[in-house]
Amino acid sequence: MTDRQIVYPGALPADTDILGLQRDMMVAIGYLAQAALGTGTVVWGLAGTQTTVPGMTINLGPGAIAGLSTVDATAFGSLASDANPLVKIGINEATTQFTLTAPTTSGQSINYLIEATLAETDATPVVLPYYNASNPSSPYLGPSNSGVAQNTQRLQRCSLQLKAGVAATTGTQAMPAVDSGWVGLYGITVNYGQTAVTTSQITAYSPASVLPSSLGKVLLATSSLSDASAALTTAGWVQALFATASATSGFTKGGAGSVTLPSASAAAGTVGSSGWTKDPSGKISQWAYVQVSDPGGSSSSGTTWTFPIAFSAPPLKVRGSNCSIAAGQGVPAVNGLAVLTAIPTASSAVVACHNTGTTGTLVVFLLEAEGY
């Protein structure tokens, strides 16, 4: 919570003044973590690597885990337990090591699983001094002078464990199942006779729960456009990316030749007359309205349609709508058929009209081409 404790000069201090402050801070951080990460269990850091001199021991670096828990499952000092849900974070500041063992039978392999969970424990027991009203200069040791040690910390950690599968003929060994309440981090396969595990053998468990190390990184307009990390982006960086894509690979929409974000209307371009689009697979679709003057007879002389942009190779297909006679030419509307007079090139196609039956009229086609 964002609640705050109020204390007054001269008032006797209470343990709940300090305990309540800590709980309130924890709740506030938990809600902030939930807003950013959700209520699912996620892990970051904890990089799995080989030791400096590769052997059968591996390292898991510092890191953290966040997951849904409760405020306090048990009493926190003098504060009662609180079963309200809360996202908590467990942090490991030190490196954790695990030692693996190779199968002892030739031709066998074994899979190891490293899993993690959020752990909360009371720790650091100390025999605390207590006020002795009958003799203030001689404090009690422990409550009621019992000499009993009491825990002085409630720790939140990312608990890690190595889980071994069953050795079996290489290729048939199974990965151990992730325990309930835990998430899988890494899988490692160890073969008979193996004496060292390298970083490349420590593979991410699927489905992955580990967040990328670049979480929280922000890409600005001046940041590298080749950055493929899972970072936050600014509008300036996205605009620069699209501008570069338009100039180098023709990424565009609506035939405008460029994309300006965040305005969607700017991307509409000349959809009504001619233009092109390119989908993520690289497929290009182009279109245009083309006018042909028909000399009559069974076909017209060809008209060259130059594509808005050139394909890398002749298009996969070119098609045209039925043509129509332009109005106001003193003749009734007559339909014709669009035909190609030659094999298209990467940059153009020659189009003719067949069987209009009318001489000297303008014939309009909607032409479309697709390719790469």
In tens, the pLDDT along 32-51 reads 999 988 888 989 899 999 99
The per-residue pLDDT for 253 is 44
The per-residue pLDDT for 272 is 59
The per-residue pLDDT for 329 is 40
- CATH classification of 283-371 is 2.60.40.2080, yes or no? yes
Name, in order, each residue with C-beta under 8 angstroms of 33's C-beta and a sequence gap of 6 or more. 66, 87, 88, 89
Name the more confident of 163 and 256.
163
Q: Which residues of 259-298 are buried (b: 16+ CB within 10 A; e: fewer)?
A: beeeeeeebebeeeebbbbbeeeeebebbbebebebeeee
Torsion (CA) 29, 30, 31, 36 in degrees, nearest 10: 90
Q: For 233-276, what is each residue's pLDDT tens digit?
A: 666 667 776 666 655 554 444 444 444 444 333 333 355 578 88
Determine the Cα–Cα distance for residues 242 and 264; give it in Å rounded to an integer: 13
Q: For 212-237, what is each residue's pLDDT tens digit?
A: 555 555 555 566 666 665 555 666 66
Name, in order, each residue with C-beta under 8 angstroms of 172's C-beta and a sequence gap of 6 or more. none
The per-residue pLDDT for 281 is 78
- What are the extents of the domains in the chain? 15-211, 218-267, 283-371
Give the 3-state secondary structure of residue 25.
helix
Task: Report the predicted TM-score, pTM, of the whole model to 2 decimal places.
Answer: 0.59
The per-residue pLDDT for 226 is 66
Q: Compute CA 111 distance to the chain's CA centroid, rounded to the nearest angstrom.
A: 28
Residue 129: what are its φ and ψ, rounded to 5°?
-75, 135
* Cβ proximity of 227 and 212 under 8 Å: no
Name the more confident of 231 and 147.
147
The per-residue pLDDT for 267 is 36
Q: For 170-203, what is each residue's pLDDT tens digit?
A: 999 999 999 999 999 999 999 999 999 999 999 9
Determine the Cα–Cα distance for residues 2 and 125; give it in Å rounded to an integer: 30
